[in-house]
Chains A and B, each alone.
Chain A
Amino acid sequence: MWSNVLYIDLDTGEHHTLDRSDLFDKYLGGTGVATQLLLEECPAGIDAFSPENPIIFSIGPLTTIFPCVSKVVSMFKSPMTGEMGESHAGGRLAMAMRFAGYDSIVIKGRAAKPSYLSIHDDEVKLKDATSIWNLSSVEVTGKILREVEPGKGRRSIMRIGKAGVNQVRYANVNVDTYRHFGRLGMGAVFGSKNLKAIVISGTEEVELPDMPAYKKMYSKLYGEVVDTEVMDKYHDLGTAANINVLNRLKGLPTKNLKQSHFENAESISGEYFADNLLLRKIACSNCPIGCIHIAMLKTQFQKGHEFEVSHISYDYELIYSLGTNLGITMGEDVLRLIDRCEQHGLDIMSTGGVLAWATEMYERDLITPPDTLGISLRWGDTDNYLKMIDRIVEMPNKFYQAMAKGTAFAAAEYGGEDFAVNLGGLEIAGYHTGPASIVGQIVGVRHSHLDNGGYSIDQKASSKPLSDEQMVDKLIYEDYWRMVNNSLVCCLFARGVYSEQNMVDALGCVGIKKTRDELEAIGREIFLAKYKFKEQEGFDIDKVSVPARFFETVSQLGMVKEDTVKNMLKLYRKKTGI
């Protein structure tokens, strides 16, 4: 129904729009269309920091139309993995793109000088960003742009921090202060293009073919979101509720996955944060849940009741990465670490993984003070981790340059590959639940726990055992259907609401008639298109090495056997045909 693609060339500052109904009719939107645009725009084998690497954003046919359809898919070649870069973000961006009238945006080239993009309805301008290029705070960058750009109060502002400017390979792109294109390094790609920020707003009025049917369907879905228990957990304690749950189940990666439970979990748990640090909850545009948990950190900086106050968003993955994985024992200290990464614009999951690997290297004397420039690394030592985070961004020597390229790269240079906890070149999500989690992150198109929810399949298997084949079947089902979900682009937290039937019905309301089976076939087709890109860039499932650490630490399902993982990967290849 909508298929307007905005193409921007940073070399010249020129732009044009094209109707790409050829893509949207076939692949819906979101991840489906973005994959095709990536295949069209990204020449095979280029360097991720080449000007030719495209940055692509896509929304879908239900964006802003129905509740919780609130995410944007980004795509690029990842400097972390050298293959598919895909990351999703909420905030206001999806709504801003919808009302600006752009279903996808493709950005190519490299600006001659530090620049930012200003996109307001039909007005698209490349503007000078020299004076804010080296700002040390992502938050302040947003404040400055707010003063000079239109669209006050409802626009979206994406920006990178020092990490992106310096091209730390896991630099993120901050979206509206509290959300992110977090993983796989799009912030570094922004940096390589001299692109500091993008501001978007719009004023479109969108009309639908059958308003009465639409209003009825909206009310139905809204009711399922707010009046049923499907999404309760996301609002109450939020994702951080998982700390205590996974700790109890022995599925919580701790101290570089030397353990799967943490003796001090209680004082960094979702319950602790909610009772002691939670300030308020906010939402992405068009989502009535409000899962974004904001903590208030009040720190005394000198005598006489002198305090500084920061507002910091937290989630489960952040508390795992910079908390349990580094042996941090107090919620307040986790917040200090989160805040530092946020201001630099670093992906927190990768940062935590790199720091955990380095700590174990230091413990084993495989790296020494000359490498770390005198910083001693100990589990739980917040002050030294803060210094270390700053050094990763500054990269003052060879060791920190390696750290800035991620765990897999650093371990290849310095050793410790057996405990360099990564899958496919990406630091793992906070789950050591069993084989489905490991296999899921290896085969997942973006090596994310959200590609196929392997951890959830492990958890199902803990109450009723599943064979290797049953696990693989469930992974594949999720891989295909989440492609559909991510093409619409619903928030995955609302996947319980957007059932197969609800997706069919909601699409019908915007004039897209697809059966359940047709949707599943589209999901599979998108999945295979992604693998086409991944393989073009050299990805091979058989070449992914799984560090020994995964098989040495007990998981929720007991010790994971290497043979189980190998067998599941074989089955997965056979059944998907990849």
Chain B
Amino acid sequence: MPAKIKVANPNRCINCYSCMLACSRTNADSVSLIDSAIDVRTSGGIESGIGIIVCRSCIDPPCARACPTGALTPRNGGGVVLDKNLCDSCKLCADACLPRAIHFDRANMPVICIHCGVCAKFCSHDVLELVKTEVM
């Protein structure tokens, strides 16, 4: 059954970035923040709020609709699948996503969440959860 990542308890976040490091380590074979699909950042310093941005796994994803080359296609259960061979780095997908869950890596390719749940596995404070979704 497909699953999606959910920010279940955002206020429990301690801003350690373990989730981001887990994502890039697992899905991009790198140690980095820029290769992580989950995006954690503070706004106004660590004394203010911590924002946690994840792919909302839309059933009718606006990023896929905005993609002119067919590189992004809807994924079964929500969200999108990326075919890097078709992507021309136009970034229309990023603009179409209101929560700004798509950003680009150093090779200028979009970093797309595959909802694998490794970020939740490496979250020590139950901020993130992997929840099951219905197959359409």
Interface residue ranges, A against B (CB under 8 Å): 64-65, 67, 91-92, 95, 98-99, 139, 142-143, 146, 152-154, 157, 176-178, 203-208, 211, 214-215, 218, 222, 226, 281-290, 294, 311
Contacts and interface: CB of A to CB of B under 8 A. Distances in A.
A286 B17 contact: yes
A285 B16 contact: yes
Interface in B108-126: 122, 124-125
Interface in B14-47: 14-18, 21, 24-26, 28-35, 40-47
Given A154-B17, A205-B30, A285-B15, 19 more contacts: A65-B31, A95-B17, A152-B43, A154-B41, A157-B45, A176-B45, A177-B45, A177-B46, A178-B46, A203-B32, A206-B30, A206-B31, A211-B29, A215-B26, A282-B46, A283-B16, A288-B18, A290-B14, A311-B47
Given A207-B29, A281-B14, A226 B42 contact: no
B72 to A, nearest CB: 22
Contacts of A286: 16-18, 21
A139 B47 contact: yes
Contact of B16 (A139, A203, A284): A284
B41 A152 contact: yes
A288 B124 contact: yes
Contacts of B51: 153
B34 A203 contact: yes
Given A99-B33, A177-B45, A177-B46, A205 B16 contact: no
A146 B44 contact: yes
Contacts of A157: 45
A94 to B, nearest CB: 11
Contacts of A289: 16, 124
B60 interface: no
Interface string B95-136: 000000000011000000000000000101100000000000
Contacts of B25: 211, 214-215, 218
Interface string B34-71: 11000011111111000100000000000000000000
Contacts, number: 97
Contact of A143 (B18, B29, B31, B45): B45
Given A284-B16, A311-B47, A153 B32 contact: no
Interface of B: 14-18, 21, 24-26, 28-35, 40-47, 51, 105-106, 122, 124-125
B45 A287 contact: no
B104 to A, nearest CB: 10
A154 B45 contact: no
Contacts of B35: 205
9 cross-chain pairs, A with B, having the tightest CB-CB distances, nearest first: A153-B41, A290-B14, A283-B16, A288-B124, A206-B31, A205-B32, A283-B14, A205-B30, A226-B124
Contacts of A290: 14, 16, 124-125
Contacts of A285: 15-17
Given A211-B29, A286-B21, A153 B16 contact: no
A227 to B, nearest CB: 9
23 contacts: A65-B31, A92-B46, A154-B41, A177-B47, A203-B32, A203-B34, A204-B32, A205-B28, A205-B105, A207-B30, A207-B31, A208-B31, A215-B26, A282-B15, A282-B46, A283-B14, A286-B16, A286-B21, A287-B16, A288-B18, A289-B16, A290-B125, A311-B47
A536 B97 CA distance: 61
A540 B18 CA distance: 44
A142 B46 CA distance: 11
Contacts of A178: 46-47
A283 B42 CA distance: 13
B119 to A, nearest CB: 12
Contacts of A98: 31
B103 to A, nearest CB: 11
Nearest to A152: B41
Contacts of B45: 142-143, 146, 157, 176-177
Nearest to A222: B122
A87 B121 CA distance: 34
A476 B43 CA distance: 45
A315 B37 CA distance: 34
Nearest to B107: A205
A218 B106 CA distance: 24
Contacts of A205: 24, 28, 30-32, 34-35, 105-106
Max chain A Cβ within 10 angstroms of own Cβ: one of B40, B105, B106, B122: B122
A288 B20 CA distance: 12
B32 A222 contact: no
Nearest to A227: B124
Contacts of B31: 64-65, 98, 205-208
Nearest to B32: A205
Contacts of A139: 47
Contacts of A95: 17, 33
B44 to A, nearest CB: 7
Q: B14, B24, B26, B44: which has the most chain A beta carbons within 10 Å?
A: B14
A203 B106 contact: yes
A153 B105 contact: no
Q: Point out which of B16, B31, B51 has the most chain A C-beta atoms below 10 A from its C-beta.
A: B31
A294 B47 CA distance: 9
Most buried by B among A176, A177, A288, A294: A288
Contacts of B105: 205
A370 B86 CA distance: 80
Given A178-B46, A203-B34, A282-B46, A67 B41 contact: no
